[in-house]
Amino acid sequence: MHPDGTISEPGLANLVDHLLTTGCDGIVVGGTTGESPTLTEAEAARLVRAVAARSKNQARVVAGIGTYDTAVSIHRAREAEAAGADAVLLVCPYYSKPTQAGVVAHCVAVADATELPVMLYDVPARTGIAMEAPTLIELAGHPRIRAVKDAKGDLFEAMSVMARTSLAYYCGIDELNLPYLACGATGVLSVVGNVVADRNAELIRAVRSGDLDSAKAIQGSLIPLVDAIMRTSQGAVMAKAALAGLGIIPHATVRLPLLEPPPPHLQRLTDALATIAVPV
């Protein structure tokens, strides 16, 4: 974003180019960990349209469309489909704490509203409730519900659901990328990947080839950066700071209630970036 909080088109284009260059095969637009709650509907659709045009089919575009209002989520899903999204990311309804039956009804209603594949987003630390295993198993029966971004951190549950469904699991906790992949996850949806998607790609390849020693070495090399981005101010805040520091985006501006990181957090980030070579 520009310092006045408006969307920076050059910054967006540079970021998409960076992600494609570093090996991303999917780009999430408006993920809820970032600033999507501060985007207007017009801005959200505009971002999807711009990313889809810039990526030129080199990466799948996944639009974050979930809210705690089913009707609004349906509308946003349809807007994303019209804007060129390849799939939608649907977070568990937050704050209102529906029953699990309500979660199922919400997700089915959104999945029925478009022809796009749906990735569920299970992140109880933010939403206040989890998508329980029976709920995930039931939702897996829907022909368009194909995947889960799992930020719950319960590896046994994840393995249990994978064993009983065809859902593709994606790790949504950067600190646990390696164990999730080792347990059968398809890939990662990574905040830190905004900076080092190439390392995540190497990690996935190492696990798939059975080279766990290399996988452990890659994950170990990323620990300082994961710590600096995910365990200081806030993931999206710190990822923007890293991208701005590397010259990929022009500004690290965030919209309230998020704030740019204080000097001690920036120093931790600078020190972590110094330990790895980041493609720019």
- Exactly one of 94, 149, 169, 240 is catalytic; name it: 149
Active site residue 95: no
- Exactly one of 56, 68, 95, 121 is catalytic; name it: 121
Neighbour-count burial of 3, counting CB atoms closer than 10 A to its CB (0-12 exposed, 13-18 middle, 19+ buried): exposed
Rounded Cα distance, 228 and 222, in Å = 10
The separation between CA 171 and the C-alpha centre of its own chain, rounded to angstroms, equals: 9
């704050």: which residue's tokens?
95
Alpha helices (H) along 128-211: 133-139, 155-164, 177-182, 193-208
């600033």: which residue's tokens?
35
Active site residue 180: no
Helix axes 70-83, 100-113, angle to 10 degrees: 30
Catalytic residues: 121, 149
